[in-house]
Chains A and B, each alone.
Chain A
Amino acid sequence: KNQVEQSPQSLIILEGKNCTLQCNYTVSPFSNLRWYKQDTGRGPVSLTIMTFSENTKSNGRYTATLDADTKQSSLHITASQLSDSASYICVVSADSGYALNFGKGTSLLVTP
Chain B
Amino acid sequence: DVKVTQSSRYLVKRTGEKVFLECVQDMDHENMFWYRQDPGLGLRLIYFSYDVKMKEKGDIPEGYSVSREKKERFSLILESASTNQTSMYLCASSLGAETTYEQYFGPGTRLTVT
Contacts and interface: CB of A to CB of B under 8 A. Distances in A.
Interface of A: 31-32, 34, 41-46, 49, 51, 89, 93-94, 97-100, 102-105
Contact of A89 (B31, B42, B98): B42
A49 B108 CA distance: 23
Contacts of A42: 107-108
B4 interface: yes
Given A41-B108, A42-B107, A43-B4, A100 B41 contact: no
A98 B31 CA distance: 10
Interface size class of B (residues with CB under 8 A): 20 to 34
B108 A100 contact: no
Given A98-B48, A104-B41, A43 B92 contact: yes
B105 to A, nearest CB: 3
B43 A31 contact: no
A43 B99 contact: no
Contacts of B46: none
Interface in B10-44: 31, 40-44
Contacts of A98: 31, 48, 50, 56, 97-99
A102 B43 contact: yes
A31 B99 contact: yes
Contact of B42 (A31, A93, A102): A102
B100 A51 contact: yes
Contact of A100 (B4, B103, B106, B107): B103
B105 A45 contact: yes
A46 B99 contact: no
Nearest to A105: B42
Interface in B85-112: 90, 92, 97-100, 102-103, 105-108
Contacts of A89: 42-43
